[in-house]
A and B are shown apart, each in its own frame.
Chain A
């Protein structure tokens, strides 16, 4: 059993949900989060954007330290992991900075609260 934690653009949420639905993976947890990656958020100085004097005077040079993202948590069987990751990449790839990251973590067990099933039956 694996836990897939994906950080994606908020605007790609609907498309991602639709794709996962088509794959019959309907159980997803989505949380709005704030984050940044290697590019340190939206930083005009590091991105090499020329700033106008006006912006510098007003102090608008910090950009955005943390960018709003959506965090998806999907717990799935081992054999489904690659299918899900490929689908996520296909939908979320725009080629621009900020497409997100996907992590795969091991999970020991899952339990369905209503029926007390555990293991793969609970997924």
Chain B
């Protein structure tokens, strides 16, 4: 099992979640976050924005689905300019559903 954490543009987050739902990945969590990347924020004229609003999407999937999810997120969150976001993948040992106690996703 892998946990995929995608940091995407807030305006693209609906696009991404719809795309994931179409691909069959309904379960996910999202939250608004603030952050910066390699470009050290954003400078427009004299104004410098150190931390930019983004949406963090967390989704846990089976190992075999990782590539597909990555493809969907990458395709749906893409605009081509700086600030499209990043995707991180980390291992998950186990999952547990509180209501049923099942160890499946």
Contacts and interface: CB of A to CB of B under 8 A. Distances in A.
Interface in A75-106: 85, 88-89, 92-106
Contacts of A38: 26-27
Interface stretch (B34-42, B43-51, B89-97): B89-97
B96 A101 contact: yes
Nearest to A33: B31
Interface residues of A, number: 36
B98 A88 contact: yes
Contacts, number: 79
Nearest to B101: A89
Interface in A97-120: 97-106
Interface in B1-57: 1, 3, 17, 21, 26-31
A37 interface: yes
Contact of B26 (A36, A85, A98): A36
Contacts of B92: 103-105
Given A8-B98, A37-B26, A93-B98, A105 B90 contact: yes
Given A105-B91, A105-B93, A71 B31 contact: yes
Contacts of B60: 101, 103
A44 interface: no
A96 B90 CA distance: 30
A17 interface: no
A21 to B, nearest CB: 20
Given A40-B21, A103-B3, A105-B93, A34 B29 contact: yes
B99 interface: yes
Interface of A: 2, 5, 7-8, 31-40, 65-66, 69, 71, 85, 88-89, 92-106
Interface of B: 1, 3, 17, 21, 26-31, 58, 60, 90-99, 101
24 contacts: A5-B3, A8-B98, A32-B31, A33-B29, A33-B31, A36-B27, A38-B26, A65-B17, A66-B17, A71-B29, A88-B98, A89-B98, A99-B97, A99-B98, A100-B98, A101-B96, A102-B95, A102-B96, A103-B1, A103-B60, A103-B92, A103-B94, A104-B95, A105-B92
